Amino acid sequence: MVGMSGKRGNGEGSIYPYKNGFAAYVWVTKPDGKRARKYAYGKTREEVHEKWLNLHAEAKKGPVATRHRTVAAFLTYWLDSVVKPNLAPLTYVSYEGCVRLYIAPHLGPKRLDRLTVRDVREWLTKLATVCQCCAQDKDAKRAPARRKCCAIGECCEAYPSRRVIQAARDALRAALTHAVTEEEISKNVASLVKVPKPRRRRIKPWSVAEASQFLTDAAARDDHLVAAWVLVLCLGLRRGEVLGLTWKSVDFERGELYVDHQIQRAGREILHRETKTEDSDDFLPLPALCLKALRMRRAQQMGDRKAAGELWQGSHDLIFTTKYGTPIEPGNMTRMFALRARRAGLRVIPLRNTRHTCSSLLVALKVHPKVAQRILRHSQIAMTMEVYAEASEEEVRAAIGQLSDAMGGTG
């Protein structure tokens, strides 16, 4: 600090008047091992002195970057060195898309250490009003004869949804969390900005009668995916889990199914990988209907293999494959589900919305509550008993009877 005489304090030799305030520097070792000056600026000598002391402390701890990266440079490093090697491929695809399409075009040139809460808030507000068809040249990429909106000056106003805006903010927040961990910045400004939560559409799940009508129709037409629909509706399995099942997953003797793999589309490749966490892995008891459907599927696949001959490519031993043994595209399964529902004369519901129907079906199939508890992964039997109390037997008996007949009895 400066005394009344105006002399500099002990060790304060590198603080000096600069423009409308003061500046200071400290010699530091950069990450590449070279020595360089790192500067601090401020309006008052006291402010600069404090920054100068912090710089000294930082320099003692280890290497210090003298040039701050831009947001774009940091995000590139984060995606390549942190996300890609350590997180799931699908997470990388999602974050990379958010960075390329929504974050870098707006915040990329800003300096990482100077990014403020206001910058982030203004970015999100602006993002909601930017037509993505214009921004990504979607219409311009079409053949000239097929251009119909933005490329011919008629903006289609394809604004990002609330869900997209939330995903973009979450990706930036995840990146800045890492920047804080690596001590490039002191606080995560993205976590201080609130975004409106996307509204969830409530969709009424299928009743037991509707689910049975769907399965009856699929069985009557010898649908190649009938066993997949049975597992989705009776066990509440997710799309990726069903497609990732191998014949090793099924124990026909004990009547059990082991769920530990999933099929995922990540960018340009289809991956057969382990489920997200070890808690997801589970031995599920198979009700009689599921065992019967899986036996039918095995016979179907053997027929496909014979018909395909040398064209058969099944290397994963997957239960559900195309007619040539290759994995089924997850997106195709979703489309097939909607198509089959329309064919059966039912209202179309999202494939992932079938989990609630699963519990009612188990009651209708007279599965013992203890077995149902394991299938539904309820921690308390009381939760399962509530489900059992809800379902009325009369309305479901006829539907299940029809299904049983379509599949040649449930033996």
- Length reported for the chain: 411
* Spatial CB neighbours of 302, under 8 Å, sequence gap ≥ 6: none
Residue 389 confidence (pLDDT): 63
The closest alpha carbon to 411, from 301, 321, 296, belongs to 296
DSSP state letter for 8: P
CATH architecture of 208-406: Orthogonal Bundle (1.10)
pLDDT of residue 2: 46
Do 216 and 208 form a contact (C-beta atoms < 8 A)? no
State CA 35 to chain mean position distance: 43
Q: Which residues pair with 284 in a beta bridge?
A: 257
**Do the two domains 71-192 and 208-406 of this chain adopt the same fold?**
no
Predicted TM-score of the model (pTM): 0.63
pLDDT of residue 411: 41
Q: Whole-angstrom Cα distance, residue 339 to residue 348?
A: 8
Helices 288-308 and 226-235 cross at an angle (nearest 10°) of: 150
Strand partners, 201: none
For residue 312, the model assigns a pLDDT of 86
- pLDDT recorded at residue 374: 73
Q: How confident is the model at residue 294, as a pLDDT?
A: 92
Instruction: Choose among 192, 190, 197, 194: nearest CA to 98.
Output: 190
Q: Tell me, what's the pLDDT at 394?
A: 56
Domain residue ranges of the chain, discontinuous segments joined by + = 15-61, 71-192, 208-406
For residues 153 and 195, what is the distance between their CA atoms, to the nearest angstrom?
Answer: 31
Task: Return the pLDDT at 55.
Answer: 85
pLDDT value at residue 18: 85
Joined tokens for residue 207 = 């009743």
Which amino acid makes up residue 54? N
Per-position pLDDT tens, the chain of length 411: 444 444 445 544 578 888 888 888 888 887 777 888 888 888 888 888 988 888 888 888 877 766 678 899 999 999 998 999 998 888 888 999 999 999 999 999 999 988 999 999 999 999 999 999 999 988 888 898 888 888 888 889 889 999 999 999 999 999 999 988 877 788 899 998 888 887 777 778 888 888 888 988 988 888 889 999 999 888 888 888 888 888 998 898 888 888 877 776 767 767 666 665 544 456 788 888 888 899 999 998 999 889 988 888 876 788 998 888 888 888 899 999 999 999 999 999 888 877 777 777 777 777 777 777 777 777 777 777 776 665 555 555 655 666 666 666 544
Lookup: tokens for 213: 């009508």
d(Cα 181, Cα 204) in Å, to the nearest integer?
Answer: 44
389 Cβ neighbours under 8 A, 6+ residues apart:
none
- Amino acid letter at 390? E
> Torsions phi, psi of 216, nearest 5?
-60, -45
Q: How far, in Å, CA of 14 to CA of 26, rounded?
A: 8
Query: Which superfamily does 71-192 belong to?
Result: Tyrosine recombinase, N-terminal domain (1.10.150.130)
CA distance linking residue 31 with residue 63, whole number of Å: 5
Q: Helix, strand, or coil here: 54?
A: helix
